[in-house]
Amino acid sequence: TYNTEINSWKIVLHGLNWLLFGRGPATSPYPHAVAFIRSAPSEPRPDIQVQLGPYAFSFSEEGVIPYDRPAISAAINVSHPRSRGSIRLRSADPDAPPVISHALLDDDDMERLIAGCRQVREILNGPAFAPYRIGERLPGPDVQSGDEWRDYLRRTAFLGYHPVGTCKMGTDALAVTRPDLTVRGVDGLRVADASVMPSLTSGNTNATAMMIGERAADFIQNGGGG
């Protein structure tokens, strides 16, 4: 796996291989396989995204530390969180960073994340991975109960960096933007990024954001809206 390829001198070689020839590990993102699953059979759509990567790392006060031996890892994401955060202006200074509260407080999000982790553990412990599996390092086989999973995830989970909805599009009273991406109550202003999405998609937001930009270009070119 890539864990044996990211020491100091090999990183330089892989970087040059990418820069000069467009080949090698440096051309690849973390996930080499992605799956969408349901945390429970009753879920109407897949609500868990699983990304499988050919390397693994641990977390410490010093930061992210790659393992010094071959390993793989799986990142489990809740695709449709019920938690709702907020973003507010810090001051009248346009250069001041906003005040962002993710407010990841919904207990249901935690339970679905645990369900996704358990499913992935079952898959990785299955016969298909048996020829390659030595053991589980994180969280480790001792983590079994719901309380043990909650403790582990509260210490190690982090954001997927796919926020949406702060300028949601719609026709209801809480919508900031109209379906043509114009801002309600402001002439000549559009928003054309992931903030207009009323809710998260099941997968990453990149393709949706590109589509929103294309639609904004169509609206402007055709003279629609504000």
- Residue positions annotated with a catalytic role: 162
Q: Pairing between strand 73-78 and 99-101? A: unpaired
Q: Are 67 and 41 in contact (CB under 8 A)?
A: no
CA-based nearest residue to 111, from 73, 74, 82, 138: 82
Radius of gyration of the chain from its Cα atoms, rounded to whole angstroms? 21
- Answer whether 164's CB lies under 8 Å from 173's CB: no
Closest CA to 116 of 44, 64, 38: 38
